[in-house]
Amino acid sequence: MKRKQPLGGNDESESDSDSSDEDEDITTEVGAIQPASKNPVLQVRMVAHQGCVNRIRAMQQQPQIVATWADTGYVQVWDVGVHIRSLSSGSAETSTGLSSIVRQAPLQIFTGHKEEGFALDWSPLVPGRLVTGDCKSFIYLWEPSEGGRWNVENTPFSGHKSSVEDLQWSPTEASVFASCSIDGTIAIWDVRSRTQAAISVKAHDADVNVISWNRLASCMIASGSDDGIFRIWDLRSFKDDSFIAHFKYHNAPITSIEWSPHEASTVAATSADNQLTIWDLSLERDAEEEAAYQAQLEQKQAEAPEDLPPQLLFVHQGQKNLKELHWHPQIHGLMVATSGDGFNVFRPSNLDNLAAS
């Protein structure tokens, strides 16, 4: 396969010099003609935000509506539809990547939390329904009302003994959501009862930082903790130490975890050890298959390390201080990972085998 030369390359080979006149203009995927030396441009719209953004989530049914947690202790809801449309149109203001900061008022600000937080999730079944959790252990339910506003219940859900770190709505039951906490527990709640959780289990020996509810196999929840361990739980037998899978590969806190929207057995996690890993829980080690593969090689170099989990599909490295990962909802295997030094968008090639199977 012939490798494409990078834009602005200085290769002085004879073949390149013969075709230099033809390569002065390059047709991009969208059909625009650009000079070969022109660098890619990142289009951006910046909106002023009160306080540092701890977490941001878009409503599934109306992606232009987003909620943000701020370090001020406020939760804010925004309509960013005009900015999305501006980026889609490729206006002159955004083409330079240096657009000015837009100042707009949020649709609503909630000041009822007594401290900042990180936990935030929109319901996939009830448009506009939202839960937010803070570092004081309290969880508040937001219900949509007329006029593009929300009613936030005065009485919070209480039961955790420490900070609520993450929240996830059930993909199948509109009134049920899950939470995890620094107190080491995962709790399942019903919005019709605020006095106590329907189920609460001791899930980890360290802070539970993140959880993810499997949308293709709704009985499964994944959790990641501060000691680098992540576990898989089956809600049909949910009790202390009842996890069905346990992985101690990472050597620093798990910072995010998310099930694939296309494969029920595939999950990805990021860690403070600067690694993003992808796992297929349906895989098992096959000694006979390994031996057959080794027999085809002149040198036996196919032996997998004994401490390498057979479920590990892919390791992504190169980013520092990894924060979050997300799967693309339509494109199989495409991922985005954010970190302290930027973000990466990539698609592991070995996930093609899963798509074909």
* pTM for this prediction: 0.82
CA torsion 285-328-176-151 (nearest 10°) is 160
On the question of pLDDT at 344 being above 70, the answer is yes
Provide, rounded to the nearest whole percent, the portion of the chain with pLDDT above 90. 68
Burial 242-279 (b: 16+ CB within 10 A, else e): ebebebebbeebbbbbbbbbbbbbbbbbbbbbbbbbbb
Q: Among candidates 204, 203, 123, which has minimal Cα distance to 132?
A: 123
The predicted pLDDT at position 14 comes to 40
pLDDT digits (tens, 9 = 90+) for 51-74: 999 999 999 999 999 999 999 999
Other C-beta atoms closer than 10 Å to the C-beta of 288 total: 7
pLDDT top residue among 24 and 206:
206
Interatomic CA distance for residues 85 and 68, integer angstroms: 20
pLDDT top residue among 2 and 204:
204
Mean pLDDT, rounded, for 84-105: 74
On the question of pLDDT at 182 being above 80, the answer is yes
pLDDT top residue among 163 and 45:
163
Q: Kindly list the distances between the CA atom of residue 222 and the CA atoms of 86, 165, 209, 341, in Å, as whole numbers in the listed order.
A: 37, 14, 11, 27
Mean pLDDT, rounded, for 345-349: 92
pLDDT top residue among 310 and 231:
231
